[in-house]
Structure 1
Amino acid sequence: MASAGRPPQPPPRGPAADLTGHRRAVNTVAFSPDGRLLASGGNDRTVILRDVTDPAHPTTVAGLTGHRGAVNAVAFRPDGRLLASGAGDWTVVLWDVTDPARPARWAPLVHRRPGLLLRDGWRQGGVHAVGFSPDGRWLACGVDRTVVLWDVGDPARPVRCAVVTHNRRLWRSGPVEAVMFGPDGRLLATGSSGDRNTGVLWDVGDPARPVRIAVVRPQARDWAKALTSGGGPAVHSVAFSPDGRSLATGSGDLGVVSGTYGSWRHGAVMLWDLGDPAHPVRTGSGTVPLPRGGDTAQVYAVAFSPDGRSLASGCENATVTLWDVTDPAHLAATATLVGLRGAVRDLAFRPDGRLLAGCGAGGTVRLWDTS
């Protein structure tokens, strides 16, 4: 059974470096597979590449421009030679970063704009998430309420392979905010802010025909009241453990305040056992308490450390928490990372596990030493 617990007050850690350069909120960060480069994208419609070989003295390598909307997602291909950036202009751009100082742009992957778009928070339509398969051939994109799979084996001639609706009931679905392939490439996890099916596992053994095999729903203290007052808790972020045996989701632990018309949300991190991917089992959870009455603290970002022993979560209330997940049934908060202002929108571990990058509404990228 799942075990929920609020973290104690672990000692806070300050940032190892504070990276500026974006003029507005930063929505996404990603490390290159060799750990040398850090890519970030933001509401200023740009992607910045930095060399973080020496985290104390990062240097800007290149600024990538051309999107006509906020950059919501970036991802490196596993070989490190290609970078994908997805934006609010409904496009994904593939960049050849073999020479990071002279990135070359391929033709954009263009997605169809919906006839009707119900906007949700700071997710204002377009491409919200991107992720490469482990072999680098396939790219999954979260585009409004759909998941789109592309064959990018030849970046000069990408081929759209499949488009699936995240929620079968379109009117009850929200933007697809997270996508991630499992380590074996056969599973794809997605998250959205719909009332139902907010987390979905897909079998993509045949990428042209993705099959929905399971739904993971976050915790809600009273689903019936939650759905009538504030909507079901969203899955804003997903992350597979390095061995593929567990899935982490970041959401809100939603409950209804007695005597009011609204709802309140604690941040919630949940772990799911994928021994049988068709029947995921929630093994453990942890909540981030609200610092003040009336605040909200939904978890917008989760990331496993490369060794799989730690999980980082980033909250709407600017809290970054490190969790010990060696016992999946009993998550234990080990550190609170400070320095970001505003909602934490993305987190990424460097492949060696010694550095964590975070970004958010405050417009900066922070690096923390996690060694």
Structure 2
Amino acid sequence: MNDLAGARHADARGGPRWRTRALVLAVLLAVPWGVTGLVWKREHDRASVQERIALAHGLALHAAELRDTAPAMARNLGLAAVEIHSDEQTRAGLIDTLVGMHSDVLSPDASGEVVLSDDGRIALAGGDELGVWDLTTWLEPKIVDKADRIAVLKDRREGLSMTALSGDGRTVLTGGGVGDTVVWDLTDPAKPIRVAALVGGKNAEDANSVRAMALSRDGRTAAIADLGGDLIMWNLTDRSHPARLSVAKLRSSSVVRDLRLSADGGIAVISYDGLFNNGAVAIWDLSDPSRPVKSADLGLPAGKYARATVMDADGHVILVGNAHRAEIWNLDDRSHPVRTAALDVPFTDLYGMAVTSDGKTALLAGPSDSAILWNLSDPYKPARLAALKGYTREINSVALGADGEVALAAGPGGTYLWDLRGLAEVVADPERAACRDNPGTEISKADWARYTGGADWSDYKGEDLSDALAVCAIRRGSL
């Protein structure tokens, strides 16, 4: 009896301790399994994320390849890429595709340059023969039959062809390496009138050898730079009787490359090619056009020269471009220009630049099949907006409407037009813009297999049992 009672007493005392030890042991054994499970889940989630990213980037690449031949499929694949994994690469690809879907071929004929009126309605494009275009029908999506050019300026001369168009679209200058600069009245764009000619500089051997030209917005002030390095200012208030205002010497041992005027004609930006690549960009004060005064030189790096320049309407923002780079300059103080930022561009050279009147949007192009739009709202932090793709060959010249709603690009492949009126919404939210305009966008099962390499689309369809993937309803998952 005593032995049995003692055993029971021992069990009573040892039971809880035994249970505690067993519980601790179970916990100790479970912890490694739990940690292992957490590690496995973390690695599984990480692998899933990487698979989604790889799939999204692959779809974005396919979309880029299809922009020219199958734009609708490019949009669908680009949208799917952003829905699956939204990052800088997939968003930029979708933006470029959506912008490209609002482009058209204005003319298939080779063009050396293109210019545009401020309102984006009148365009001039061509080479030895300069066509006049009214873009009204081109900017109305409901009009299927777009208007052809409405006139031709046939008085082009042999040599380097150049064109300047006033902001109001009523006055045109045409000229070249040899011959007078011709003044045209474009009040009726369908019936251009040759009204006068501007004779060259004061040096007989350089007379009529025009290197660059520009017009003020109202067409009343013209600036001509000739081969001899003279800047000739003209008053075109009476276009039939132009009055020469002044002739100023620009820069010795240099050849003018580009000439730009502010809207009021009070500021000129002139770039030069110099000996041994010792180029320069100069700011000229033309507030008194009868007495032009150079106010400053931009401090370009040694051995660099400007391939292209452009200025906003008020003369406060200047872009200077050369190989792989474009610099933004602030000209609030004309005597002390300040470099605010640089744009790294994917071109070996810059052939054309344009900027909106407010200086907040710029278009840059070089020897490639696309031009790049930049947001310059913060001149210290420029941001890429979109690439205007779809052009067939290198771009020689670009133009922007004053408000940035129309863009043109010209070169050996012809002249292209982009309608940019929805650009702000597309850049802000490309997914929303694509789904708003195309709510029923789908990718068939066959196309999904083709462009994803056979990826299981059940991860992205959710409960949808149809044979097509509704792109705007792709299940994002937990990333």
Tell me which amino acid in the other structure corresponds to 2:280: T
Pair 1:81 & 2:163 matched = no
Cα distance, 1:127 vs structure 2: 2.7
For residues 177-224 of structure 1, what are the alpha-carbon distances to aligned partners after superposition, in whole Å with 9 as ceiling and x for unaligned?
322222443211112222445211001122122111111144x4xx3x
Tell me which amino acid in the other structure corresponds to 2:184: W
Cα distance in 2 for residues equivalent to 1:275 and 1:210: 19
For residues 130-151 of structure 1, what are the alpha-carbon distances to aligned partners after superposition, in whole Å with 9 as ceiling and x for unaligned?
2212443210123234332112
Cα distance in 2 for residues equivalent to 1:128 and 1:29: 17
Q: Is the 1:197–1:216 contact (alpha carbons within 8 Å) kept by the matching residues of 2?
A: no
Q: Per the alignment, do residues 114 and 317 of structure 1 end up closer, same or farther by CA in structure 2, a change over 3 Å counting?
A: farther
Cα distance, 1:76 vs structure 2: 2.4
Q: Is the 2:157–2:179 contact (alpha carbons within 8 Å) kept by the matching residues of 1?
A: no
Q: Per the alignment, do residues 324 and 52 of structure 1 end up closer, same or farther by CA in structure 2, a change over 3 Å counting?
A: same
Cα distance, 1:341 vs structure 2: 4.3
Tell me which amino acid in the other structure corresponds to 2:250: H
Q: How does 1:140-151 map to 2 (within 5 A)?
A: 140-144=223-227, 145-151=229-235
User: Residue 284 of structure 1 is aligned with which of 313, 331, 341?
Assistant: 341
Pair 1:368 & 2:418 matched = yes
Q: Per the alignment, do residues 114 and 200 of structure 1 end up closer, same or farther by CA in structure 2, a change over 3 Å counting?
A: farther
TM-score, scaled to structure 1: 0.77
Cα distance in 1 for residues equivalent to 2:246 and 2:304: 27
Q: Per the alignment, do residues 243 and 98 of structure 1 end up closer, same or farther by CA in structure 2, a change over 3 Å counting?
A: closer
Q: Which has the higher helix share?
A: 2
Cα distance in 2 for residues equivalent to 1:82 and 1:190: 22
User: Residue 186 of structure 1 is aligned with which of 258, 262, 266?
Assistant: 266
Q: What is aligned with 1:105?
A: 194
Q: Identity of counterpart residues, as a percentage? A: 29
Q: How does 1:24-39 map to 2 (within 5 A)?
A: 24=110, 26-39=111-124
Q: How does 1:140-179 map to 2 (within 5 A)?
A: 140-144=223-227, 145-167=229-251, 169-170=252-253, 173-174=254-255, 176-179=256-259
Cα distance, 1:317 vs structure 2: 3.4
Q: How does 1:140-289 map to 2 (within 5 A)?
A: 140-144=223-227, 145-167=229-251, 169-170=252-253, 173-174=254-255, 176-194=256-274, 195-196=277-278, 198-218=280-300, 220=301, 223=302, 232-252=303-323, 266=324, 268-289=325-346
Instruction: Give 3-state SS (helix, strand or coil) of 2:282's partner.
Output: strand
TM-score, scaled to structure 2: 0.60
Cα distance in 2 for residues equivalent to 1:89 and 1:198: 25
Q: Per the alignment, do residues 107 and 134 of structure 1 end up closer, same or farther by CA in structure 2, a change over 3 Å counting?
A: closer
Cα distance in 2 for residues equivalent to 1:79 and 1:184: 12
Q: Is the 1:150–1:160 contact (alpha carbons within 8 Å) kept by the matching residues of 2?
A: yes
Q: What is aligned with 1:299?
A: 350
Cα distance, 1:84 vs structure 2: 1.4
Cα distance, 1:276 vs structure 2: 1.0
Q: Is the 2:310–2:353 contact (alpha carbons within 8 Å) kept by the matching residues of 1?
A: yes
Cα distance in 1 for residues equivalent to 2:204 and 2:385: 43
Q: Per the alignment, do residues 55 and 233 of structure 1 end up closer, same or farther by CA in structure 2, a change over 3 Å counting?
A: farther
Q: Is the 1:142–1:177 contact (alpha carbons within 8 Å) kept by the matching residues of 2?
A: no
Q: How does 1:10-159 map to 2 (within 5 A)?
A: 10-11=92-93, 12=96, 13-14=99-100, 16-20=103-107, 22=109, 24=110, 26-42=111-127, 45-55=128-138, 57-70=146-159, 72-111=161-200, 115=205, 126-144=209-227, 145-159=229-243
Cα distance in 2 for residues equivalent to 1:319 and 1:156: 40
Q: Per the alignment, do residues 102 and 136 of structure 1 end up closer, same or farther by CA in structure 2, a change over 3 Å counting?
A: closer
User: Residue 357 of structure 1 is aligned with which of 378, 386, 408?
Assistant: 408
Tell me which amino acid in the other structure corresponds to 1:76: L
Q: What is aligned with 2:4?
A: none
Q: Is the 2:211–2:226 contact (alpha carbons within 8 Å) kept by the matching residues of 1?
A: yes
Q: What is aligned with 2:438?
A: none
Cα distance in 1 for residues equivalent to 2:217 and 2:194: 22
Q: What is the CA RMSD across the aligned residues, in angstroms?
A: 2.7
Q: Is the 1:83–1:97 contact (alpha carbons within 8 Å) kept by the matching residues of 2?
A: yes
Give runs of ≥4 in structure 1 deviating > 4 Å: 112-117
Q: Is the 2:314–2:357 contact (alpha carbons within 8 Å) kept by the matching residues of 1?
A: no
Cα distance in 2 for residues equivalent to 1:199 and 1:335: 28
Instruction: Give 3-state SS (helix, strand or coil) of 2:291's partner.
Output: coil
Q: Per the alignment, do residues 162 and 319 of structure 1 end up closer, same or farther by CA in structure 2, a change over 3 Å counting?
A: farther
Higher-Rg member (1/2):
2
Gap runs ≥5 in structure 1: 1-7, 118-124, 224-231, 253-265, 291-296
Cα distance in 2 for residues equivalent to 1:370 and 1:156: 37
Q: Which has the higher strand share?
A: 1
Cα distance in 2 for residues equivalent to 1:280 and 1:288: 22
Pair 1:320 & 2:371 matched = yes
Instruction: Give 3-state SS (helix, strand or coil) of 1:344's partner.
Output: coil
For residues 315-368 of structure 1, what are the alpha-carbon distances to aligned partners after superposition, in whole Å with 9 as ceiling and x for unaligned?
1334411111122122222211123344432221123421101112x1411111
Aligned length: 317
Gap runs ≥5 in structure 2: 1-87, 140-145, 422-479
Cα distance in 1 for residues equivalent to 2:368 and 2:235: 38
Cα distance in 2 for residues equivalent to 1:106 and 1:97: 10
Q: What is aligned with 1:255?
A: none
Q: Per the alignment, do residues 162 and 90 of structure 1 end up closer, same or farther by CA in structure 2, a change over 3 Å counting?
A: farther
Q: Is the 1:203–1:212 contact (alpha carbons within 8 Å) kept by the matching residues of 2?
A: yes
